[in-house]
Amino acid sequence: MGDKNAFILFNSIVVCFGSVNDFYLVWLVICLQVTVLIDEHKCMSSARRRTTTPTSSWVASKAILHLRKNSSMSTKELRTKLQEEHNCEIHYDTVWKGRQKALKEIHGSWEESFQLLFSWREEVMKRSSGSVIEIDIKEVDGNFYFQQVLLCTQALH
């Protein structure tokens, strides 16, 4: 008991059993000695490491709210806003990667947007059959790139 990190824990339990007029009361006292171990570890295992450095996924989850309001917000503006709101330091590269993830979640990937262009063309042609829509794309090394669109809609009567 001379250890300064040891202490006594008392816990009492009251147990009642029997009928309404005739009951027995038992009082149990439990006495435990608890020793606190203060073990210093010099190794750096991943289980003991506590980091507060934000990840790009964390940044993306917080940035979505801001980018839905203003998708043209720069990485620098977003970094300043997140640092002020969450009182933390965030590296520029982490914010840039998080911003890209958030924009992809909001708007979809470039490939999805490219395909939507042709889906949009088909829908307009279905509703306004006399319209002319030309989508100009350029192929470079097997990849297709959007160049321009020509749109002439039929007048509605």
pTM score over 0.85: no
Cα 65 vs. chain centroid, distance in angstroms? 11
- Please name the residue that has the structure tokens 């439990």: 30
Chunk the chain into consecutive blocks of 10 residues (it has 157) and report each block's average pLDDT, rounded to whole numbers: 48 48 49 57 56 85 93 94 92 95 89 85 85 87 86 70
For residue 5, what are the CA distances in angstroms to 2, 9, 42, 129?
9, 13, 21, 85
Q: What is the pLDDT of residue 38?
A: 61
Cα–Cα distance for residue pair 151/134, rounded to 1 Å: 7
Q: What is the pLDDT of residue 58?
A: 93
Q: What is the pLDDT of residue 120?
A: 87
Q: Is 60 helix (H, G, I), strand (E, B) or coil?
A: helix
Q: What is the pLDDT of residue 42?
A: 59
Domain extents for the chain? 6-35, 56-107, 110-152
